[in-house]
């Protein structure tokens, strides 16, 4: 899969949000990125959010601070985020187009950098954090939705020799961060019916990565649904990971 396909995929998703699916979810673990932001921040903090997409989570969940810069390499996503910001009335947030792998932000500037479900370059992130500043990463791991991927014989990270959580963890350590912790973040999600679940799977890069072909084989889908329906709802087990780290100093 080329990086151009990924870029085009996200540009096309800019006017779409998970909220419309009414997904019920329950946490099996305690790590929560928003709780950690609230714990580490003060009203004077400067926060950078990488790969922010349409900005919904920053606008709704991040505490009001001196400065929040939220970035994404998709101009379409940033366009949507700016419209969402206007509706919110918040004045502490700025959105800008930026590639996480070619960061254009001042050195020693931010108290907290967050990255949720996006690619990161920890060696660049460490430069823009103040000494003592925190890095918080949440990512989707190799074994996310694994039973579903086994039924289809494919999916995001399915063939990775090393889980992405480990690759990220090592990159954070190698960049020179201190107090680096990698923890599992597991959740059960429930979808209200087959139609909603199928639509969701056609949208997200769980089975079909970001390729143009959004085909979901319905016989395999039915096999998964048969084994994973509880009280009329379809269950999906999400396996994510969280990384916390601190810039020395």
Ligand X SMILES: C[S@@+](CC[C@H](N)C(=O)[O-])C[C@H]1O[C@@H](n2cnc3c(N)ncnc32)[C@H](O)[C@@H]1O
Residues of this chain that interact with ligand X (CB under 6 A) are 10, 51-53, 57, 72-74, 77, 99-101, 116-119
User: Considering beta carbons, is residue 97 or 216 the nearer one to ligand X?
Assistant: 97
Q: How many CB atoms lie within 10 A of CB 138?
A: 19
CB-CB contact of 61 with 35 (8 Å): no
Task: Provide the minimum distance between the beta carbon of 77 and ligand X in the complex, in angstroms, as a whole number.
Answer: 5
CB-CB contact of 245 with 134 (8 Å): yes
Three-class secondary structure assignment of 48-73: EEECCCCCHHHHHHCCCCCEEEEEEC
User: Considering beta carbons, is residue 200 or 225 the nearer one to ligand X?
Assistant: 200
**Alpha-carbon torsion (33, 34, 35, 41), positive or negative:** positive
Task: Provide the minimum distance between the beta carbon of 227 and ligand X in the complex, in angstroms, as a whole number.
Answer: 27
At 128 the three-state DSSP class reads helix
Task: Provide the minimum distance between the beta carbon of 119 and ligand X in the complex, in angstroms, as a whole number.
Answer: 5
User: Considering beta carbons, is residue 33 or 225 the nearer one to ligand X?
Assistant: 33
Cα 34 from Cα 68, distance rounded (Å): 14
Residue least distant from ligand X (Cβ): 51
User: Considering beta carbons, is residue 80 or 225 the nearer one to ligand X?
Assistant: 80
Task: Provide the minimum distance between the beta carbon of 37 and ligand X in the complex, in angstroms, as a whole number.
Answer: 13
Cα 241 from Cα 137, distance rounded (Å): 8
Q: What are the distances in angstroms from CA 41 to CA 35, 36, 77, 124, 244?
A: 10, 8, 26, 21, 14
Task: Provide the minimum distance between the beta carbon of 73 and ligand X in the complex, in angstroms, as a whole number.
Answer: 3
Task: Provide the minimum distance between the beta carbon of 178 and ligand X in the complex, in angstroms, as a whole number.
Answer: 25
Cα 158 from Cα 155, distance rounded (Å): 5
User: Considering beta carbons, is residue 57 or 188 the nearer one to ligand X?
Assistant: 57
User: Considering beta carbons, is residue 77 or 151 the nearer one to ligand X?
Assistant: 77
């Amino acid at each position: 899969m080329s990086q151009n396909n990924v870029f085009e995929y996200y540009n096309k998703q800019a006017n779409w949000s998970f909220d419309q699916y009414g997904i019920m979810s329950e946490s099996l673990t305690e790590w929560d990125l928003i709780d950690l932001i609230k714990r580490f921040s003060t009203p004077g903090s400067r926060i950078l959010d990488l790969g922010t997409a349409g900005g919904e989570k920053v606008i709704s969940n991040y505490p009001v601070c001196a400065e929040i810069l939220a970035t994404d390499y998709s101009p379409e996503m940033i366009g949507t985020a700016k419209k969402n910001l206007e509706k919110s009335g918040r004045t502490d947030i700025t959105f800008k187009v930026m590639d996480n792998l070619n960061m254009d932000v001042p050195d020693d500037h931010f108290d907290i950098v967050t990255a949720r479900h996006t690619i990161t370059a920890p060696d660049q992130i460490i430069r823009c954090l103040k000494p003592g500043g925190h890095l918080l990463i949440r990512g989707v791991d190799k074994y996310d939705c694994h039973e579903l991927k086994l039924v289809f014989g494919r999916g995001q990270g399915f063939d990775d020799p090393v889980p992405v959580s480990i690759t990220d963890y090592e990159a954070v350590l190698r960049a020179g961060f201190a107090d680096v912790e990698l923890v599992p973040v597991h959740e059960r999600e429930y979808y209200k019916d087959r139609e909603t679940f199928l639509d969701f799977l056609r949208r997200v890069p769980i089975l079909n990565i970001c390729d143009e072909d959004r085909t979901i084989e319905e016989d395999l889908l039915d096999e998964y649904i048969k084994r994973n329906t509880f009280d009329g709802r379809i269950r999906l087990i999400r396996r994510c990971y969280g990384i916390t780290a601190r810039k020395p100093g």
